[in-house]
Structure 1
Amino acid sequence: MTGMATATKLAGETEGQEFLVFTLGDEEYGIDILKVQEIRGYDQVTRIANTPPFIKGVTNLRGVIVPIIDLRIKFAQPDVEYNDNTVVIVLNLEQRVVGIVVDGVSDVLSLTQEQIRPSPEFAVTMSTEYMTGLGALGERMLILVDIEKLLSSEEMALMDTLRSA
């Protein structure tokens, strides 16, 4: 019986794009589900000297050294604490695997083109250049993030140095 339901659901979702929804403070963000490798609890990381505070360090994930970035610190969120809800989203981006620390993961949502609005001219928490748009779901507003772009630039260069260190 369950097989039937799944088939219908998949057929109906072909036009939507799936996003993993995570929270940072009071905001909800969505990233392309295809870039997500796994979601895990926050473990101890190995700190690396002379890195910006938002780069927590690196962790060994089944033999792969994965840099861990705390997005909460990156977005200047006050009072960042690590508790049982704190999760790391492990992302598979082009040639690299990176972990991002967020307050929590709430959903996987499928958004159709009609539900995705263009980015606003200005954004409070992050530069609009990292946003691909806003997902509107009834009362909920998701900030859709181009995670590759957000994690590219100088951080990535920095992380490559960490990896080769």
Structure 2
Amino acid sequence: MAGVLDSVNQRTQLVGQNRLELLLFRLDGKQLYGINVFKVKEVLQCPKLTIMPKSSPVVRGVASIRGGTIPILDLAMATGNPGLNDLKDSFVIITEYNTKVQGFLVRSVERIVNMHWEEIHPPPKGAGRDHFLTAVTRVDNQLVEIIDVEKILAEVAPTSEVISEGVIDVETQQRAVTKRVLIVDDSSVARKQVSRCLESVGVEVTALNDGRQALDYLKSMADEGRHPEDELLMMISDIEMPEMDGYTLTAEVRADQRLQKLHILLHTSLSGVFNQAMVKKVGADDFLAKFRPDDLASRVVERVKQSVNG
């Protein structure tokens, strides 16, 4: 596995073309799982773990890696299955989500596959473990399950959703009542987090599950002769989504004259300077790393004030 991620930095051309690359892995059993390569920093044999008292059982310990102390989460246990045994024969996928680094303990790591977001689908309704899934796909006729990592992280280490005093003033809250924001995110946890934050500001929220749904929704508004930029204060969209990613959604909106004035904020757990360049390339107005309630609320407050002054 030493060289499997060597070319990650050369893979950025995939983004904006509605493409992604999945790192495939297994827990205990034959089921294949996938994680976006852009979230992965490295893959290594499970290092020596130090047990942390009073931590969640899902956290098998912490490891010292490249000068940093990183929590190691057992993905099998996090999805309701027995934890992995024989850790010395297991692997750790080091990832960065929401600007935090953590490792995911897995049994084996397979390979990287190049996919199109249109091949990634929401989990089937009623699926046994869809509680922990954000999407599914097929590779070589095998089902690949994509775990809702944001849900797992929210359960293991909950993020505060409280907005600090002074971020929202009474006058803005009163003005916000007449405003509506479109949220687009495939993670149910992320949709709830963002919705609660925005409702604290005072705006009304419409939440959709992926870029395809959002584009259809906006186009149907325009087909009816309505102006999305008048009815919506802004659109806040995740980047990683089945069917259509946030970059492609933004590019499609900007390519439609009826929609192109809509203010777009890309809100993502993908980290890195590279995202800033992509935001500019596809024509988004702003970019924000998940999930920082004060920063998100401030962006919405700013838009409310601009809409009043404008």
TM-score (norm 1): 0.76
Q: Output one character per residue of 1:48-100: Cα deviation in whole Å (capped at 9) or x when no partner.
A: 11223221111111221101111122223347312554100000122211001
Q: Does 1:45 align with 2:49?
A: yes
User: Gapped runs of 5+ residues in structure 2?
Assistant: 1-6, 160-310
CA-CA distance at 1:135 after TM superposition: 1.0
Q: Give the structure 2 partner of residue 55 of structure 1.
A: 59
- 1:22-41 residue pairs with structure 2 within 5 A? 22-24=25-27, 25-41=29-45
The residue type paired with residue 19 of structure 1 is L
Report the count of equivalent residues.
146
Give secondary structure in 2 for the equivalent of 1:152: helix
CA-CA distance at 1:17 after TM superposition: 1.1
- Aligned counterpart for 1:144 among listed residues 122, 133, 146: 146
| 1:70–1:38 CA distance, 2 compared to 1 (3 A) | same
- Aligned counterpart for 1:17 among listed residues 3, 16, 20: 20
Q: Give the structure 2 partner of residue 101 of structure 1.
A: 105
The residue type paired with residue 144 of structure 1 is I
- 1:77-96 residue pairs with structure 2 within 5 A? 77-78=81-82, 80-83=84-87, 85-96=89-100
| 1:56–1:126 CA distance, 2 compared to 1 (3 A) | farther
Whose radius of gyration is greater, 1 or 2?
2
* Distance in structure 2 (CA, Å) of the matches to 1:34 and 1:157: 23
- Aligned counterpart for 2:69 among listed residues 36, 53, 65: 65
CA-CA distance at 1:153 after TM superposition: 1.3
- 1:147-158 residue pairs with structure 2 within 5 A? 147=149, 149-157=150-158
| 1:44–1:125 CA distance, 2 compared to 1 (3 A) | farther
* Distance in structure 1 (CA, Å) of the matches to 2:93 and 2:135: 21
> What RMSD over aligned residues (CA atoms) do the two structures have, in Å?
2.5
* Distance in structure 2 (CA, Å) of the matches to 1:78 and 1:146: 18
Contact 1:23 1:103 in 2 (8 A): yes
Higher RCO (Cα < 8 Å, 6 or more apart):
1
Q: Per residue, is there more helix in 1 or in 2?
A: 2
Q: Does 1:123 align with 2:127?
A: yes
Q: Per residue, is there more strand in 1 or in 2?
A: 1
| 1:126–1:64 CA distance, 2 compared to 1 (3 A) | farther
